[in-house]
Structure 1
Amino acid sequence: MGQVPTRERIVTAASRLFYGEGIRAVSMDAVAEKAGVTKRTLYYHFTSKDDLVAAYLDGRDQPNLTLFQQWFTAAEGGLADKVRSIFFQLGRSARHPKWKGCGFLRTTAELTNMPGHPAVTLAAAHKKKVEGWMQAIFEAKGLRGAPMLARQVALLMDGSFTAVMLHRDPTYMEIAGETAHALVSAALAAHEPSP
């Protein structure tokens, strides 16, 4: 097995530190130490901490979406059940002792006074990608108002992330999942022709 490329080692180390401790709490010295590189090597690959924070979120983008898609596909039942299962899987994840919430939302909260920051832009794009994926699923089922339904489900998801981070109670995700199930069920019922 080959050696892990230096840039990848740095991003992996930064990801663990940023997710575990927060963006502002982690110094570039700490990242270099965890990655086993010098600061000079770190700055060779990333010109600033901002670049490294953006790389951290960029590295979470596709894996997070893929995980949601896997949970959706693996779930039994109809469309509403599959949407609800994403929330229940998130609730399961939130019960893990190392769970610290949504890395995208936490990073954005830390950078709230920097709306043009590359990491904030990446976080917004990720959230839009998840919403767009749900919209495509709803449109494929022929549901009217698919964009609004996808946005409602996305709001439930992000709201439940926030509530669980605040209250440390994963049942908020499960309740949000039941609400998403009800919304999707209502949309499906409205789509079905009357007898």
Structure 2
Amino acid sequence: MAARGDSTREQIVVAATRLFYGDGIRAVSMDAVAAKAGVTKKTLYYHFTSKDELVAETIAARDQPMLELYMRWFAETDGTVAEKVRGLFTKLGRSVDVPRWRGCGFLRTIAELANTPAHPAVKAGAAHKKRFEAWLATELRDHEVPNATALARQLVILLDGATTVMLIHRDLDYVETAGRLARDLVTRAATQAD
């Protein structure tokens, strides 16, 4: 019985994630989520006591898969640590250069709920961004790049900025330009260690 409940809960999260990402959190009703998930509203509220709880769960559910995706992109990119960092931008650009892309789901959620900074989804989105930054700093440190913490923060700013501008202009050159800047920042930092 527990497995079925977990499956239903996951089914709801998947449906809600698609709707929230495609249409925006405020535009999507719980009725729409129930219909998309193929469950009754009673079942939906059995698993999630409120829309806020459901929104937070959709963000939390995307945290680890997104971190793992960036880790894989980094590991799969050949070359120096600077080239690996640029590879994050290159692979991000390829993955978002599609008509259905609506921007970074974490940033969109935080922006949509900006007037409620204590919202659990805002906290989950911010925690994801911090975990990504910490992972990147660890990678830089492991590759003996000095000032890894400060550099990771600069790279996150470039990455999130590139993502935002890509959404505005739908021009991959913004992500590629940010990737070149990121590579140059890491190269400069790495050469200071020599």
Pairwise TM-score range, normalised by the shorter structure: over 0.9
Equivalent position amino acid for 1:180 in 2: A
Partner SS state of residue 5, structure 1: helix
Report the Cα distance in structure 1 between the residues aligned to 2:20 and 2:172, rounded to whole angstroms. 22
Q: For structure 2, list consecutive stretches of 5 or more residues without a partner in the other structure.
A: none
2:181 maps to 1:182: no
Report the Cα distance in structure 1 between the residues aligned to 2:150 and 2:191, rounded to whole angstroms. 16
Aligned counterpart, 1:141: 143
2:30 maps to 1:28: yes
Structure-to-structure mapping, 1:23-172, within 5 angstroms: 23-172=25-174
Aligned counterpart, 1:15: 17
Q: Contact (CA 8 Å) 2:82, 2:184: kept in 1 or not?
A: yes
State the shift of 1:143 in Å.
2.2
Aligned residues: 191
Report the Cα distance in structure 2 between the residues aligned to 1:125 and 1:51, rounded to whole angstroms. 16
State the shift of 1:20 in Å.
1.1
Equivalent position amino acid for 2:27 in 1: A
Report the Cα distance in structure 2 between the residues aligned to 1:42 and 1:102, rounded to whole angstroms. 26
Q: For structure 1, list consecutive stretches of 5 or more residues without a partner in the other structure.
A: none
Report the Cα distance in structure 2 between the residues aligned to 1:87 and 1:24, rounded to whole angstroms. 30
**Which stretch shows the higher mean deviation, 97-106 or 136-145?**
136-145
Please report the RMSD computed on the Cα atoms of aligned residues, expressed in angstroms: 1.2
Equivalent position amino acid for 2:165 in 1: A
State the shift of 1:189 in Å.
0.7
Report the Cα distance in structure 2 between the residues aligned to 1:170 and 1:27, rounded to whole angstroms. 33
**Which stretch shows the higher mean deviation, 32-41 or 88-97?**
88-97
Report the Cα distance in structure 2 between the residues aligned to 1:127 and 1:167, rounded to whole angstroms. 23
TM-score, length of structure 2 as denominator length = 0.95
For residues 54-109 of structure 1, give each alpha carbon's deviation from its aligned partner in whole angstroms, at most 9, with x where no partner exists. Answer: 01101110000000000000011110000001101111112112111100000011
Equivalent position amino acid for 1:94 in 2: V
Q: Contact (CA 8 Å) 2:146, 2:190: kept in 1 or not?
A: no
